[in-house]
Structure 1
Amino acid sequence: MYNDASVRYNKYEVNARYNLTPALAFGAAYTYTQALQHTPGTSNGSSHWNQFGLQADYALSKRTDLYAEGVADIGADGNTVGAQVFGTDAPSSSKNQVVVTTGIRHRF
């Protein structure tokens, strides 16, 4: 048996995309993350987060589109680790984090 502390993460995701018109699409995603902590000689614990995301994409042409996306990562009561939306540089200082992104994309 190992005497090292460890954390195991389990992630479950469901997402969908709907094309309202050939140029306009909407998307939604939900991710559940569970962290199971194991430290020998102490009580073990767990934390979990719920992440929700919405996206809209409008094609200006075959290669250029506008997009807007919002993601909220909400931690459970009692979480000791800050929430972190995937792709951000650092976790939040609280159990929740919200990220909003807009942009124009051109594919070469």
Structure 2
Amino acid sequence: MIANTTSREILQHRSRCPKPFVREFPEFVTLRYPVFDPIRSIHTSRWVFYKKLGKDLFYMDEFTYTLRTYTLTELVEMAENVGWRLEAAYHNLGTLEPPHPEGSPINTVFRNKVTA
């Protein structure tokens, strides 16, 4: 089972926003700058952290991470290549809603072909 994992389509869509994603917490603020490479299916995100002191923000630190993202189709192909088959795929595990054409989190159930 792969549960609630981001898909290539979701990250590609989020990366189209030219502005950073801002998230405010009681004591700090984060800015996220996503970049998506559609040729290599690589998502890179730089997070910058600021401490809040009154109405001022003070730089704390930052980090960057890189993810190789997959489509549902790619994951099914990889699973089949090692002897597994897709049993079910869902947009939402709570409702068992099927995947959306425009993109869904990856929620899948695989079964070993030998024992199926």
TM-score range for the pair, normalised by the shorter chain length: 0.3 to 0.5
Name the structure where strand makes up a greater proportion of residues: 1
Larger proportion of helix: 2
Given the two structures, how large is their TM-score scaled by the length of structure 1?
Answer: 0.38
